[in-house]
Amino acid sequence: MYANEFDATMQLIRGKWKIRILYQLNGNEHSRFNTLERNMKPITHKILAEQIQQMIDAGLVERHDFHEQPLHVEYNLTKKGQSLIPVVDVICDWGLANIDPSELKETLCD
Amino acid sequence: MYANEFDATMQLIRGKWKIRILYQLNGNEHSRFNTLERNMKPITHKILAEQIQQMIDAGLVERHDFHEQPLHVEYNLTKKGQSLIPVVDVICDWGLANIDPSELKETLCD
DNA sequence: CTGTATCCTGATAGATACTG
DNA sequence: CAGTATCTATCAGGATACAG
């Protein structure tokens, strides 16, 4: 087993928002901050900024600043970020096959 | 995307110890409590008991009490628990392929 | 529009000691 | 041997306000 690789990878997808951001960016290239904020509704301004920054640090997301006024910044998945999608899909699929729908909580986003 | 299935599945493998227990039980059928405790060294007595209980509740592990004196209890993965192994492997494999070894922390168990 | 700083709360992990 | 109870430390998530 590779517990450390597991932990390191989990670090990247763990938490309430990371995969949701991953899927958002995967579905919508050139996403802007406030668009993301709007699309992921109950997320907090601060948390979104925090999570995105962590994903940038991890090399999953790249930030493109247009240096315009008013501020214009776009986010995209890097190759590394894209390569994570199939991994997350496997997790979702297992849940889909093995988790009783009645156990699932309220839909947060879909 | 299936955020809820993802969250529900993550719930089962999240945390510092759950996959390690999963791998331990996968590699050694009929594991006993103190054997697990010894094999997973820095784990705490309380934490191990807690995590196992959660995995039993989730249907991943089954407990077999031999009703002997001194106490003799064995743990095994259920089918559901076993089916989680390939999922966890995918995560480990991605880490193996994408994470710089220098970023990895000390080996906890291997 | 994009980002940072403060403060608060709940969940998780761990040290330690006790019970049948 | 197997399991529970207490208390404490740490961290992720969130509410809110402020700044370039």
Spell out which residues of chain A touch residue B95, defining contact as CB-CB under 8 Å: 2, 4-6, 8-9
Separation of alpha carbons A52 and A47, rounded Å = 8
Range of the domain at B63: 5-103
In a domain, B108, yes or no: no
Q: How many Å is the maximal CA-CA distance in chain B? A: 51
In a domain, B110, yes or no: no
8-state DSSP, B5: H
Q: How many other C-beta atoms lie within 10 A of the C-beta of residue A13?
A: 19
Write the CA distances from A51 to A57, B40, B102, integer angstroms. Answer: 10, 32, 23
Q: Is the pLDDT of residue A1 over 80?
A: no
Position B88 scores a pLDDT of 95
For chain B, the C-alpha Rg in angstroms (whole number) is 15
Tokens 């031999």 belong to which residue? B66
In a domain, A110, yes or no: no
Q: Does strand C come within 7 Å of the CB of B43?
A: yes
In a domain, B41, yes or no: yes
Q: How many domains would you assign to chain B?
A: 1
Percent of chain A with pLDDT over 70: 90
Position B105 scores a pLDDT of 55
B28, two tokens = 């050694």
Q: Is the pLDDT of residue B108 over 70?
A: no
Mean pLDDT in residue range A26-52 = 96
Q: How many other C-beta atoms lie within 10 A of the C-beta of residue A81?
A: 22
Global pTM value: 0.88
Sign of the Cα pseudo-torsion (A86, A91, A92, A96, in order) = positive
In a domain, A61, yes or no: yes
**CATH code where residue A36 lies:** 1.10.10.10
Q: Does strand C come within 7 Å of the CB of B41?
A: no
